[in-house]
Amino acid sequence: MGVKGVFITFEGSEGSGKSTQIELVCKYLKQKKKPILFAREPGGVKISEKIRSILLDVKNKNMNSECETLLYMAARAQLVEEVIAPALKKGKIVLCDRFLDSTVAYQGYGNGIDIRAIKDIGKFSTQRLTPEMTIFFDIDAKKGLSRIKGRTKDRIERRAISYHNKVRKGYREIARREPGRVKLIDANRTKEEIFSIVQKHIDRLLK
């Protein structure tokens, strides 16, 4: 794929504050008159939003882990084709709330799906697109869940704390293996403190 833009993803477990930080980054880059595109996973386009509602529906209790993995990938394939790849071709800075690392962490480390298989299917689903930079907001699973305790929990959020601990460990392992791409930020700080670190990473990448 002929890519001209910059692809940045934001990752983390439940309540890590990544959506809050993306909003701040969008505002910051808009002020600088940078061409940006925001996307989120799963969802972002009509077909992927439909898949999202199946994935997060608490009624789908008996969905198996393979089905879950493939649905996340299907939603991603559509989003890449319709939104992410065209924006990158136009030279935009694409900021995406979750991407393939989420499947590695949640379905791979969390649910025990073979990580090599996830990466292979991932290449197929994403047209081999890899983020230039991934910002990972690291937080204790219990602490993160306590931040969102007022919300109605979806099918994934309802899982046991042991599951969420595995997801966090998975993310830390991804960051350990790919320190060049993945920037780990301790998310147990104030929004302002976190943003000043995020801003430095963004500035360094875009300069």
Cβ nearer to ligand T5A, comparing 50 with 147: 147
Instruction: By CB under 6 A, tell whether 184 contacts ligand T5A.
Output: no
Q: Which of residues 58-87 bind ligand T5A (CB under 6 A)?
A: 72
Tell me, letter by letter, the H, E, C secondary structure of 50-82: HHHHHHHCCCCCCCCHHHHHHHHHHHHHHHHHH
Binding mask 14-43 for ligand T5A (x = CB under 6 A): xxxxxxx--------------------xx-
Find out whether the peptide bond into 42 is cis, omega within 30 degrees of 0. Answer: yes
Q: How far is the CB of 187 from ligand T5A (least distance, A)?
A: 6
Q: What angle do CA 46, 40, 29 make, to 5 degrees?
A: 125
Q: How many CB atoms lie within 10 A of CB 43?
A: 21
Instruction: By CB under 6 A, tell whether 191 contacts ligand T5A.
Output: yes
How many residues of this chain interact with ligand T5A, rule: CB under 6 A? 24
The whole-angstrom separation of Cα 42 and Cα 117 is 19
Binding mask 134-173 for ligand T5A (x = CB under 6 A): -------------xx-------xx----------------
